[in-house]
Amino acid sequence: MDVLGMIYNALIANEYILSQAKGRIKYYEYPESKDVKNPFIIIDPLDVPSPKDFADNTWLSNDCLLQIDVWTKNRTTTKELAENVQKVMWNIGFRQNGGIEEWDKDTGIFRDARRYRGKIYRDDLDI
């Protein structure tokens, strides 16, 4: 189960996200402020997946908590990208669980960082 790969693939399947951030959707990797000329999306796990939903002494799913940041120099683009990310995450079973919106006066970067929690069912069980 590659949660980050699954999320990445779901994000690039969204036409708007792909058109705005192609090649700038990263895991863990935050850009230098000087490099933010175009939108960046950063997928950052906040915790390791936790076993959930047990049957016959076996866990059936993993509970995942992650944050997805959207960084741009345009407030409207940041908002539109973050809302598209939210829709994608909803469609793959992740629910928003907090976040922060901010603007850095010194760099001119708008940041929308939303936290998502979701369950991924194991695909390695013979059930």
State the CATH number of the domain containing residue 53. 3.30.2000.10
- The total of other beta-carbon atoms located within 10 Å of residue 73's CB is 14
Domain coverage including residue 74:
3-121
- The total of other beta-carbon atoms located within 10 Å of residue 2's CB is 9
DSSP 12: H
SS3 percent helix, strand, coil of the chain, rounded to 5, is 30, 45, 30
Residue 67, domain member (yes or no): yes
CA–CA dist 121, 127 (Å, integer): 12
- What's the number of domains the chain is made of? 1
pTM: 0.89
Residue 127, domain member (yes or no): no
CA–CA dist 24, 7 (Å, integer): 14
Nearest C-alpha neighbor of 86 from the set 101, 73, 74: 101
* pLDDT, position 66: 96
Q: Please, which pLDDT band fits residue 5 given cuts at 50, 70 and 90? A: very high
Per-residue pLDDT of 14-40, as tens digits, reads 999 999 999 999 998 888 777 888 999
Per-residue pLDDT of 71-104, as tens digits, reads 999 999 999 999 999 999 999 999 999 999 999 9
Residue 51, domain member (yes or no): yes
